[in-house]
Structure 1
Amino acid sequence: MSRAKAGEITPAIAAVAAKEYLEPEFIRAGVAAGTIVIPANIHHHALQPIGIGRQLTTKINANIGNSTLSSCPQQELAKLRAALKYGADTVMDLSTGANIVQIRKLIVENSPAPIGTVPVYEALARAKSADKLTGELILEVIQDQAEQGVDYMTIHPGLLYDHIPLARKRLLRIVSRGGSILARWMQKNHCENPFYTLFDRILEICAAYDVTLSLGDGMRPGCLADASDEAQFAELKVLGDLVRRCRAADVQAMVEGPGHIPLDEIEMNMKKEQQLCDDAPFYILGPVVIDCAPGYDHITSAIGGTLGAYYGAAMLCYVTPKEHLGLPNAEDVRNGVIAYKIAAHAADIARKRPFARKRDDAISQARADFDWEKQFELALDPDRARELRREAIEESSQAGGKPHGDDRFCTMCGPDFCSMRISRELD
């Protein structure tokens, strides 16, 4: 679904329009303008396309992938299944350890959702050292991943050699893995960022396979002390220029956004991206709004993600409870996806997206009817709702609660204090 084909209503455009309750012409116009992207590699045969843009429902991404210390192909497939089961719209394979190609092949073959990667990770794994990276190796990896069916790729062409001194002023300097690798390479070789100098050749590969570029934020702030600083916005300005080069080459592009941002700066950040990047879809990590809650960063970041989506972010990259602590497992993936489904859904309701509240109104009716099974079916995580209901009943029984003839109450209120039972008797 390249921008070159945006003048027609393709099957991908029609499919996205149907999911979004919008006219195909609306989607077509957004793709043509570059404000909507449909990541859809011509070799991803299992793909069910989605659209990403602030005019559409908010999408969420789940990161999976192994590390040099943990996981294997089967564990990554389990993470993929968890991400898809609980509602991830896209999945990124961020593998950095062994079996990178095998893992990605399995993920692409088994995912109806668009798959993203960060090619510099595989390039570094092949080179064994950042000092040994070459431009030709980077292009080779991008070509190989495109051949394999990757729908979108995060690259970091906006972090330039002149930006490195700005990072030295920061508390945490560069927290982006890709950004730090490239900064070290540039400083070691006294050369410009190869993703920047080779950008036209990268565009040629992407155009050939309909790969969408996700222009990465190598200078994203990794703590509140570094938020909204000169380094972050210097890179964002370059990314805006690169968005325009993508559009001229008929390559779809979105822009990645900040990591740790105070709540009161989120609106400004969203609007600044729209201005500098000509309203390219904004794909944000969080933002994490406080730094002091390790173990709960799926919550701290979902708070920021809700506000980010409300002010125009198109896709939210989830954060799991293991953020800053370790490699997430399948249960962490579940918790991260659900936290971000909540964030995206809350923003869509507030933005009055078509039929966004339909599910909420239906579950409210089920609550009024004391229809527990319907409530479970409509829940974002039916399994968790059933688990907690069953647990509550068991705990009540163990505490000596008397069996009751019906279940038109929960164990918090019981039959005598249930407000909905009582209020039904109002004249």
Structure 2
Amino acid sequence: MKNYSTQMEAAKNGIITSEMEVVAEKENMNAEKIRELVALGRVAIPANINHKSLSPEGIGEGLKTKINVNLGVSGDCANYEKEFEKVKMSIEFGAEAIMDLSNYGKTNTFRKQLIDYSPAMIGTVPMYDAIGYLEKDLLEIKAEDFLRVIEAHAAEGVDFMTIHAGLNKRSIESFKRSKRLTNIVSRGGSLIFAWMEMTGNENPFYEHYDELLDILYKYDVTISLGDALRPGSINDSTDAGQISELIEIGHLTKRAWDKNVQVLVEGPGHMALNEIAANMQLQKRLCHGAPFYVLGPIVTDIAPGYDHITSAIGGAVAAANGADFLCYVTPAEHLRLPDVNDVKEGIIASKIAAHAADIAKGIPNARDIDNKMSDARRRIDWEEMFSYAIDKKKAREYFESTPPADKHSCSMCGKMCAMRTTNKILNGEKVEFSN
């Protein structure tokens, strides 16, 4: 008979769960070490008891950097078939998590299909769904209504939920004093802020935090403590509003752990390159080593259409300095709902950032595949090179689009290929260009 309800509760009781064993195998780590880290809260394994198709993943200290893909319908683009194409692509390219951010109509049909289908962990922001699910205007929604939506998502099998519980009256005062350039850019955060200002009440997720944790505990849902005051421009990064909310989140992290609920902490946002490393250390200090989940950071504000690149730059620096989980950004960021191609570009950019950071962090065996690729390049073995590529199809298409006359080269250098030249000399052969 199972004598625990959550991964953290099991870990604290010295129990290695089947999910911990899967994570240990994926990470090439000892299962007991995984258990210790889960017990401390430094690793989370989001694994709702009702998500039967899940292939568990660990997020946190000493583990490979994971990536998340955001998708979901909006009022302007309500095509669930297209969203499911994005789901399939996300899984094909190895995304460890998918967040359904649908905010239009009755979203639970799509969410249930997603949970039934996906081996990747599933996240949601229940605040987005509250208005459509409850069919009420924001001002009419009560605290118990918000909790009802959270329980509905949890019962369906959602593994982690973004809850903006740190946006309380104290952090709002800091935000107002900061006189930001871009104010609040978090969609969920802005809705909570508006609700608080219109009603005069405290944040319901903060005021009823213990009740919320009881729901999450029941289904083993990981709370992802959302950063409602994340900077939406590099001008606003590391300001009093952002840091005051982070201090509140640190306190909420410990309260969740006390109730055996696993925690992720969400972070910026837009941030100049020189501030990223310090922010990662600050989060780990204030939030007691909890896994850190960052959006970007986006390192410049002037590249709409290319924000998958600005995000990957920031994400690589963030993860190399301690971030554990990267939320992808697509070229459509700030412009429109991403299409399938945008999603692909975002996934690839984020995977590159995560892998580059794992090499920098010294994650065991992280650079093995790079060494294999380099060896295949030395031998000019194209098929083997394609097999190691993050995007195998694109690598092959580029090579074959302008085929070389000599298969032991490419159309860039032809017979002047440095690999070919050096290989011939080291093999005792002459270098000739006439044949």
TM-score calculated relative to the size of structure 2: 0.94
The one-letter code sitting in structure 2 at the alignment partner of 1:425 is K
**Is 1:335 matched up with 2:334?**
no
**Is 1:194 matched up with 2:199?**
no
* Alignment counterpart, residue 304 of structure 2, candidates 284, 289, 294: 294
**TM superposition shift of 1:369:** 1.8
For the residue of structure 2 that corresponds to 1:103, the secondary structure is: helix
The one-letter code sitting in structure 1 at the alignment partner of 2:109 is Q
Q: Is contact 1:293–1:300 with CA below 8 Å preserved after alignment?
A: yes
CA–CA distance in structure 1, aligned partners of residues 327 and 402 of structure 2: 33
CA–CA distance in structure 1, aligned partners of residues 233 and 344 of structure 2: 25
* Percent of paired sites with the same residue: 48
1:83-94 superposed matches below 5 A? 83-94=90-101
Q: Is contact 2:64–2:363 with CA below 8 Å preserved after alignment?
A: yes
CA–CA distance in structure 1, aligned partners of residues 209 and 230 of structure 2: 21
Equivalence for 1:398:
none
Equivalence for 1:117:
124
Q: Is contact 2:174–2:244 with CA below 8 Å preserved after alignment?
A: no
CA–CA distance in structure 1, aligned partners of residues 163 and 84 of structure 2: 24
1:333-412 superposed matches below 5 A? 333-393=343-403, 404=405, 406-412=406-412
Equivalence for 2:36:
29
Q: Is contact 2:67–2:325 with CA below 8 Å preserved after alignment?
A: yes
CA–CA distance in structure 1, aligned partners of residues 194 and 95 of structure 2: 33
**Is 1:157 matched up with 2:165?**
yes
CA–CA distance in structure 2, aligned partners of residues 319 and 73 of structure 1: 20
Deviation readout 1:169-199 (Å, 9 max, x if unpaired): 1111000001000001001111100000111
Equivalence for 2:414:
414
Give aligned pairs, total: 416
**TM superposition shift of 1:165:** 4.2
Deviation readout 1:349-405 (Å, 9 max, x if unpaired): 111111101111111111122211111111001011112112233xxxxxxxxx73x
For the residue of structure 2 that corresponds to 1:424, the secondary structure is: helix
Equivalence for 2:137:
129
Q: Is contact 2:231–2:242 with CA below 8 Å preserved after alignment?
A: yes
* Alignment counterpart, residue 3 of structure 1, candidates 5, 8, 11: 8
Q: Is contact 2:67–2:354 with CA below 8 Å preserved after alignment?
A: yes
1:211-250 superposed matches below 5 A? 211-250=221-260
The one-letter code sitting in structure 2 at the alignment partner of 1:424 is N
For the residue of structure 1 that corresponds to 2:44, the secondary structure is: coil
Q: Is contact 1:321–1:332 with CA below 8 Å preserved after alignment?
A: yes
The one-letter code sitting in structure 1 at the alignment partner of 2:260 is D
The one-letter code sitting in structure 1 at the alignment partner of 2:77 is S
**Is 1:324 matched up with 2:331?**
no
For the residue of structure 1 that corresponds to 2:19, the secondary structure is: helix
CA–CA distance in structure 2, aligned partners of residues 373 and 10 of structure 1: 40
Equivalence for 1:77:
84
Q: Which consecutive aligned stretches of 4+ in structure 1 deviate over 6 angstroms post-superposition?
A: none
The one-letter code sitting in structure 1 at the alignment partner of 2:130 is A
CA–CA distance in structure 2, aligned partners of residues 76 and 240 of structure 1: 34
For the residue of structure 2 that corresponds to 1:410, the secondary structure is: coil
1:253-264 superposed matches below 5 A? 253-264=263-274
**Is 1:46 matched up with 2:53?**
yes
Structure 2 unaligned runs (5+)?
1-5, 427-435
**Is 1:143 matched up with 2:142?**
no
For the residue of structure 2 that corresponds to 1:426, the secondary structure is: helix
Q: Is contact 2:256–2:262 with CA below 8 Å preserved after alignment?
A: yes
CA–CA distance in structure 2, aligned partners of residues 167 and 71 of structure 1: 34
Q: Is contact 2:7–2:17 with CA below 8 Å preserved after alignment?
A: no
Q: Which moved more, 1:279-288 or 1:349-358?
A: 349-358
Structure 1 unaligned runs (5+)?
394-402
Equivalence for 1:106:
113
* Alignment counterpart, residue 179 of structure 1, candidates 183, 189, 194: 189
CA–CA distance in structure 1, aligned partners of residues 51 and 19 of structure 2: 13
* Alignment counterpart, residue 262 of structure 2, candidates 248, 252, 258: 252
